[in-house]
Amino acid sequence: MPYLADLEQSGIPTVLINYVEETEKVKNDSVLYGIPKLRYVEADRKSPGGVEEADRLLPLVLEGLTRPLTRAEKAGGRYAPEPPRILFEGTLPEAEKFYQQTERIPRILDAEWSMYTDGLPVVIPTEERVKEMLTGTSHAPDELISLQRDFETRPQAGLFMQGMIRKKGEVIKFMPTGSTATVEQIAVNAVMAGCRPEYFPVVLAMAESGGCTGDGRSWGGGFIVSGPIYKELGMNVSYLRFGPCNPANKTIGRVGSLIWRNIGGWKESVTGIGVGLTYGNPVTNGGFIFAEYAEGLPAGWKGLNEMRGFKKNESVIVPFSPGAWGIGQEHLPGVYRSLQRTGHGAIARFLDVKGVVGPHNYLEFLTKDIWATREGGFTLVMPPQVAQDLYDYGFKTKEAVYEWMWKRSFVTVGNYRQRGMGDLITNGWLGIERTSGKHWRELPDDYMVPAGGDGPEAYTIIVAHGDETAIDRFGGGPMGSQTYSIDAWR
């Protein structure tokens, strides 16, 4: 929409062809970007072959470019919403009823949609509670959420994202509406999620990342904490780290989806079209956060904070985008222990090391066919023993593991052409293949290309506490090189 707005405002008439399900978002976005009367033509995505649909659309498209403007289309104006600071005044029972209001959204079959919450009951954000939350930071309540340091983002070829330099002080725009927020407004959402004031610096760092809303459409929904703050807050880095019952993990994770809903303004089919990613991903399920157990790292393996240029004693948050859960070969923890301790069991048979005590390269078993039905990197959350075994085997750094896994992901161009994401990642085979520097269409079918992401940086290892030697594996990982200091928000 920014592109269309720019064209219209520079005097070039446009018409948009959109699918009919997206019309409400088109109307919404055209106001947000300053061209409220944008002309659009609705297409039906179910038209077989598209020929009849093209016949129907053609005169409508050309009419959009030639029919003289109406009075309304020639008019200007200003969109300047002023949401009140005090949303409701009344007793707590009345407030609970108010904040739990819902509306029906036609495009999702009139399903109910919470107007102020994530669908769950919330802690009512009274002035007193918000004031208490604000004691968790030294930042002023009326300060706009902005970047706390300069940093450079890494280009991501498959997403057509250029690398860019972002400057300290840049005001954060929360997508999909591009709204801004003050420290106080984030505190309101933190209260609603059930956070304690001591969690607030983590929440503010999440807000600094844009609440993991990306460009509003997809990606994100999760956060990793690295650094000693996990101990201060009592975050669970051990068994059931992804499960219920830990207040810090659950409430801080929840704030992300409230920020997306309230600050970013997500309203399904109106301000955004969900495709199961971001906070709509069942893995994130409305918000997802966990922390690193740096004490379990083998010597020579760095924590996520150190790998991102921070010190070991500095606490940071990294937004990430988790995909499919439980990828790779399944096994029980005892099967892993047998592999390394006695050289017996299924994994030992797979690696042909029967009777030979480890360390063995377990990753050869785990990653067999892991890219057969998916592209991209992934994240491994492993107990200290697995990390130590990999170190003893010869992976003296995490980067060495990443490099090994990425190289293992190479497939032939012939294979890559048959994959579901190939058309998108290669821009319809019109672009340049990174490893060769050649045009995709010049490459022979037997040329090897990586199915597992742009490079080793597509992989992440997080060490968690626990002696049960099973690792959590899920697709996706950190969103580029973005890392945000939690300490900057204390």
- Residues numbered 102 to 131 that lie near another protein (CB under 8 A) are 116, 124-128, 130
> Nearest-CA neighbor of 129 among 70, 185, 47, 187?
187
CB of 200 to another protein, least distance (A): 15
56 backbone dihedrals φ, ψ, rounded to 5°: -70, -40
CB count within 10 Å of CB 158 equals 18
Minimal distance, residue 268 CB to another protein, in Å:
17
The torsion defined by the Cα of 442, 448, 452 and 456, in degrees rounded to 10, comes to -100
Site for another protein in 50-89 (CB under 8 A): 50-51, 53-55, 57-58, 61-62, 65-69, 73-89
Preceding omega of 247 cis (within 30 degrees of 0): no
Residues in a beta bridge with 111? 105
Residue 418 makes contact with another protein by CB under 8 A: no
Separation CA 437–CA 82 (nearest Å)? 51
Residue 20 touches another protein, criterion: CB under 8 A: no
Query: Closer CB to another protein, residue 63 or residue 467?
Result: 63
Whether 283 and 322 have beta carbons less than 8 Å apart is answered as yes
Task: Estimate the crossing angle of helix 183-193 against helix 127-134, to 10 degrees.
Answer: 110
The residue assigned the tokens 């090189």 is: 481
Number of residues that bind another protein (CB under 8 A): 102
3-state secondary structure of 435: coil
Nearer Cβ to another protein, position 93 or 355? 93
> Among residues 263 and 381, whose Cβ is nearest to another protein?
263
Nearest CB to another protein, comparing residues 339 and 449: 449
Near another protein by CB under 8 A: residue from 24, 28, 35, 379 = 35
Write down the least CB distance from residue 130 to another protein, Å. 5
CB of 379 vs another protein, minimal distance in Å: 24
Point out which span in 176-184, 239-247, 370-378, 482-490 binds another protein (CB under 8 A). 176-184
Instruction: Give me the least distance between CB of 55 and another protein, in Å please.
Output: 7
- Is residue 310 near another protein by the rule CB under 8 A? no
Residue 388, C-beta contacts closer than 8 angstroms, at least 6 positions apart: 298
Examine residue 149 and tell whether it contacts another protein (CB under 8 A). Answer: no
- Told to check if 219 binds another protein by CB under 8 A, we report no
- Residue 325 sits in the site that holds another protein (CB under 8 A): no
426/460 with CB nearer another protein: 426
- Tell me how far apart the alpha carbons of residues 468 and 334 are, in angstroms, rounded to a whole number: 8
Q: Which of 101, 102, 427, 435 binds another protein (CB under 8 A)?
A: 427
479 lies in the site for another protein, by CB under 8 A: no
Q: Does 439 bind another protein (CB under 8 A)?
A: no
Report in angstroms the alpha-carbon separations of 362 from 329, 365, 410, 448, 469: 11, 5, 19, 24, 12
Q: Which of 15, 147, 351, 353 binds another protein (CB under 8 A)?
A: 15
Q: What is the sign, positive or negative, of the torsion defined by CA atoms of 346, 351, 357, 361?
A: negative
